[in-house]
Amino acid sequence: MIALPENQLKEMLMRAGIIDDASFELVRTEAERKNQNIVDIIVSEGVITRDYFYLILAKTLGLERVNLGNTEIDAEMLAKIPEEIARQKRAIIFGKDEKGNFLIAMEDPTDLEVVDFMKRRLNGPIRTFLATDEDLNRGFLLYNKQLTQDFSKVIEESVQETLRLKARGALKEIGEDLPV
């Protein structure tokens, strides 16, 4: 999540009419006592949903927001960055727009180091979007889904080849060629 200074977070929440000054101080004290993030306390107490917070945050910072639960992720684009790097950078490529920009969901689109890394790695222009942890985790699951599909395909091809050889009556060949 984007780390906002406390005074900027307070101003943003007050401007949106979510909390007043006294309530913010109570939440801040509670967050310190529990050693938690102020936003986590506000969300857990039902004052605001996490999605609504991210919408306000995006609007306040002039960022675009993406919900990967409602957005189709292009598997070909996803594969352009290995899962390990995507997890490390907390960024997922989910498509390409009509202008040729790579569309990237990020935990912190204000992180210029990650933005520059993506531009260099993809060797092209990018468009960044603010995404929640849950959104990014949905994208990370697609890496595993692709791996499972690839493994299933290998098994299916192996079974088909075995059946073809069996149909030809080459039982000895089958025994020798069976995968371990």
State residue 74's pLDDT score.
86
pLDDT digits (tens, 9 = 90+) for 118-177: 999 999 999 999 999 888 988 888 887 555 555 556 666 666 776 676 666 655 555 665
State residue 56's pLDDT score.
92
Q: How confident is the model at residue 109 (pLDDT cuts 50, 70, 90)?
A: very high
Identity of residue 1: M
State residue 25's pLDDT score.
92
Q: Checking DSSP bridges between strand 102-106 and strand 91-96, what pairing results, if any?
A: antiparallel
Joined together, the tokens standing for residue 8 give 């900027």
State residue 138's pLDDT score.
86
State residue 65's pLDDT score.
94
Residue 90 confidence (pLDDT) above 90: yes
State residue 165's pLDDT score.
64
State residue 171's pLDDT score.
54
Report yes or no: 130 and 63 within 8 Å, Cβ to Cβ. yes
For residue 144, give the nearest of 56, 83, 80, 91 by alpha carbon. 83
- Say how many Å lie between the first and final Cα of the chain, rounded: 45
pLDDT digits (tens, 9 = 90+) for 16-66: 999 999 999 999 999 999 999 999 999 998 889 988 999 999 998 899 999
Report yes or no: 90 and 106 within 8 Å, Cβ to Cβ. yes
